[in-house]
Amino acid sequence: MEILGLLIPISLLLGAAGLAAFWWMLRKGQFDDPEGDAHRILREDYDDKPK
Amino acid sequence: MTAFADPQHPSACPACDAVPLAEQAAGKALTEARLMLAMPGIHCAACISGVERILRSEPGVRDARVNLTLRRASVEAGPDIDAEMLCAALNAAGYEAHQLDPGVLAATEIDARGRALLMRLAVAVFAMMNVMLLSVAVWSGAEGVTRDMMHWISAAIAIPAVLFCGQPFYASAFAALRGGRLNMDVPITLAIALAVGTSLYETMLSGEYAYFDAAIALCTFLLAGRYLDYRTRANARSAAQELAALEVPRALRLTGQGTETVAVVDLRPGDLVRVLPGGRIPVDGIVVEGNTELDRSIMTGETLPAAAAPGDKVNAGEANLTGPITVQVQAAGRDTELARIGDLVAVAEAGRSNYTSLADAAAKLYAPGVHIIAVLAALGWFAYTMDLRVALNIAAAVLIITCPCALGLAVPAVTTAASARLFRKGLLIKDGTALERLAEVDTVVFDKTGTLTDGAPEPLGLSELSADEAQVALALAEGTAHPLAKALANGLRQSGVVPAQLAELQEIAGFGVEAMWNGTPVRLGRAGWLEAKPVTTTATYLRIGTAAPKAIRFADQLREGAKELVEGLKAQGLRVVLLSGDVAPAVDAFAERLGIGDLVAEAKPDEKAAEVRRLTGGGARVLMVGDGMNDTAALAAAHVSISPASALEAARAASDMVLTGRNLLPVLDAMATAGKARSRIKENFTIASVYNLLALPLAVTGLCSPLIAALAMSASSLTVSLNALRLR
């Protein structure tokens, strides 16, 4: 059971990393145009210069 | 679909070329203009590339980016670029585009509240997943110290998370209690507080049950509902702002030196205002100089243009058609006829029966019921065991089990799904309960001019003109920008007529066009000017020499989808009424074309509203579809209302839904979707209540473990969301 002392902090840390990643994406505006981004990724003119 | 090659621009990104230049220009570049365009028609990847390519190929444009979700394009351009040029370029390529005022849009762009809500939701999800995971150990039989440790860690995660995430609920519950009311947030707050409180107490005493997972799960599901609700409202609000931004009221004021452009609000009685052909009159006043014809259709619904000469009174909102005029301001802003109609709207809105949404009705039953059951259960257990700890545990379990997670999701999930569906079809929903109300409609009232009709009128009976008459008429019609003349010229050109050779062609503003044809004077214009006997419907008159003047009649052009819409509504057994301010013969002829039996003609704005109220008084649920200033009071008085995108801002503001395209057919889709949405909402309430009713006896009898609470809550929320998604 001692392993729990290690596993629980690790799992919390990983979860927190996910939360931080989400916060970053929110700041970067990755949720501003979900519909447009879904289409953009399929177009060749964005291959060279994704933005 | 293939990618577009861009022949004009060897570089893949014109913006990249522009950046170094912009940086060289340092300070100046930073003050560059940011333009926003509304693009209601775009829908696919090719549209994105196409629009961006066109915008970037305009000289002076540094960068352009399309937002497909919001149907907008934002353009970074030099200060000398104006949005009208860009819109014209896009329109020429077949993309519908309108200018937006970035100042009005700034508020929606930042959208701080939405992001804050999303962040709270993210934190809640994170905390919920971790606490649930820890709870698995407890549920699978951890005991003693291990269980205590799990509980303590759960508490360490859940308590700060609940404090942070639940703030919207606490604030709303506090506000309600201070006002002496009960709302949905009161039982929610109480449930969260009680669950966290008793769980902490239990944990300190090494108890068996802790509800940390339930408390945070509650927060998560409720926040999800709140966020969906917020997003629907924000979309609707930004759409309304977007439409408001389409009109920037400005006027040309005459000063000693020339003219200056001023905002309409800055005009004072006595100022002189210049109104150019094609412009809209910004104020109420008197013509002091110039002759013209006015299009009053927006104010009165009349399609026939009216003549205006010095000394005539004009009203704000009328469009100037042929000649430039100078108007002396008598009333501006709040004092105009336009604003008085606005006051009519306010009265009509106040008189609108207070609609109780399904959610409100549910909340009214729900909130007191939950409290009573929880208190009764706690009292009962306290009397039975004389143990406050047990009684509090039971009360917490009851509150958690009955907490309206699924109820909170039931309506927003459905409205989100339905409005997303209707947005794709070309309809914006401005009001949260509009769909519910639309589902109840049994009578549809249409305005004629600008709603069922659209664009230029069609000339009738062109084949009755002799070859000479047709040629002269075409040559004269091409000498003016008057809409009737333009329509006539188009019609004649299409039937292969060649214009006659005319000399001394001149336009007499407000009357018509005259010229010499082979030494004979010829005229095209108003009946009075040609001494012709006026016909009752919209017409223009042609006189060659001293021959009797000939009337060329016009019929309104039907808006796209108008006929199908009326047929579809009648097929569904709805009553269709035509309510127009236009003259009776024109309305009669038009109603016959569409097969509408019920009609009211020559209705003034207040009469329109009164007619809608009369129908409502007779027990009908009225859907009003209209676009003009004269419709606004009726739009506000109706049970639910729709206006086309071309409608006046005031009309759009007064209506619950706005069509984004030219076509009227989405109204039919909206009615079908509204019916479905209403039944989904009711289903959702049933599902949520069944879950609650099943779990409630367990909670009251003390058989409800945190595991059952968590399962019931998640299962009901999921079922409700999935049921709502069936609507897409």
Does the beta carbon of A43 lie under 8 angstroms from any beta carbon of chain B?
A: yes
The per-residue pLDDT for range B339-393, each reduced to its tens digit, is 666 566 655 555 554 566 677 777 777 777 878 888 888 888 889 888 888 888 8
3-state SS, residue B623: strand
What does the pLDDT read at residue B164?
93
Q: Which residues of B touch A44 (CB under 8 A)?
A: 2-3
Of B67, B122, B153, the CB nearest to A8: B153
Q: Which residues of B are catalytic?
A: 447
CB contact under 8 A, A44 and B3: yes
Mean pLDDT for chain B?
A: 78
Q: Is residue A37 part of a domain?
A: yes
pLDDT of B635 above 80: yes
Nearest-by-CA chain A residue for B122:
A19
> Does the distance separating the beta carbons of A19 and B68 come in below 8 Å?
no
Nearest CB to B45 within list A1, A11, A39: A39
Domains of chain B listed by start with CATH number: 14-100 (3.30.70.100), 250-349 (2.70.150.10), 425-453+559-675 (3.40.50.1000), 458-555 (3.40.1110.10)
Q: Is the dihedral of CA B256, B257, B260, B262 positive or negative?
A: negative
- What confidence category does residue B330 fall into, taking pLDDT thresholds of 50, 70 and 90? confident
Quote the ipTM score.
Answer: 0.77
Residue B119: its chain A contacts at CB < 8 A? 23, 26
Q: Do B122 and A34 touch (CB under 8 A)?
A: no
- Which of 16-35 (A) contact B at CB < 8 A? 16, 18-19, 22-23, 26, 31-35
Determine how many CB atoms are found less than 10 A away from the CB of residue B3: 13
Q: At what angle do helices B167-178 and B112-139 cross, to 10 degrees?
A: 110
Which residues of chain B have a CB within 8 Å of the CB of A23? 119, 122
Contacts of B247 (CB under 8 A, 6+ apart): B649
- Which range of residues forms the domain containing residue A36? 23-51
Confirm if B560 and B454 have CB atoms less than 8 A apart: yes
Give the orientation angle of helix B185-204 with respect to helix B167-178, to 10 degrees: 120
Q: Do B118 and A42 touch (CB under 8 A)?
A: no
* Strands, E assignment, B332-411: none
Q: Pick from B45, B67, B126: which is nearest to A18 by CB?
A: B126
In this structure, are residues B658 and B645 in contact, taking their beta carbons and an 8 Å threshold? yes
- Contact check, Cβ <8 Å, B67/A33: yes
Q: Count of A–B CB contacts within 8 Å?
A: 62
Q: What is the pLDDT of residue B159?
A: 93
Question: How many structural domains comprise chain A?
Answer: 1
pLDDT tens digit string along B500-531?
A: 888 888 877 777 888 888 888 888 887 778 77
Q: Do A43 and B13 touch (CB under 8 A)?
A: no
What kind and span of H or E run contains B555? strand B550-555
The residue with greater pLDDT, B450 or B514, is B514
Q: Would residue A36 count as lying in a domain?
A: yes
Distance from CA of B640 to the nearest CA of A (A): 30
> Does any domain span residue A33?
yes
pLDDT for position B161: 94
A29 assigned to some structural domain:
yes
Q: Is residue A42 assigned to a domain?
A: yes
- DSSP state letters, B560-571: TTHHHHHHHHHH
Local structure of residue B449 (DSSP, 8 states) = I
Residue B338's pLDDT band (cuts 50, 70, 90): low
Q: Give pLDDT, residue B155.
A: 92
Domain-located, residue A14: no
Q: What is the pLDDT of residues B561-617, one digit of tens each?
A: 888 888 998 888 888 988 887 778 878 888 888 888 888 888 877 788 888 888 888
Tell me the mean pLDDT in the region B57-81.
81
- Any domain includes A32: yes
Tokens representing B132 are: 């649930």
* Cβ-based contacts of A31 with chain B (< 8 Å): 118
> Per the domain annotation, does A45 fall within a domain?
yes
**Nearest residue in chain B measured CA to CA from A11:** B130
- Whose CA is closest to A33, among B70, B178, B273, B223? B70
Tell me which residue of B232, B301, B104, B247 sits closest to B646, measured CA to CA: B247
